Amino acid sequence: MDERRKTERIKIDKPVKSETHSIIKGIDVSTGGIKVIMNNKMEIGEMVQMHFHIPQIGNKFNVEAKVVWQKKTENGYAIGLEFKKVRSDQEK
C-alpha cells in the first residue's frame, strides 16, 4: 500500500462534534488532519468546522478542515480531512 501520511497518527476513536455536519466519531488524528466516520457523503474540497478532544495529550481542538478523500464503509463514510485552521486549548 502506498503510504501517503507524512506525520504520525494518534488513534482517538472518540466523538468529534460539528454544528454543521453529522460526524459519528474520529478515528485517528495527526498534525495535518483527521480521519472521521460520517453518516453522509461529502464533496471533495468541502470545508468542515469541528471540535474534538485528544485524551492522550490533554488538548481540545477547534478546527476548520477540508475534505481530501472519502470511502464508503459499512458504518457510513470514512472521510479524510486536512486541517486549514487549528486552535488548541490546554485542558485545565
Quick: pLDDT tens for 54-66. Answer: 877 778 889 999 9
- Rounded CA-CA distance 24/85 in Å is 21
Half-sphere exposure of 39 (CA within 13 A, CB side): 7
Q: Is the pLDDT of residue 3 over 80?
A: no
Domain 10-87, CATH: 2.40.10.220
- Per-domain residue ranges for the chain? 10-87
**Quick check: 62 and 48 in contact, CB under 8 A?**
no
In terms of Cβ atoms closer than 10 Å to its own Cβ (0-12, 13-18, 19+), residue 54 is middle
Q: Is the pLDDT of residue 44 over 70?
A: yes
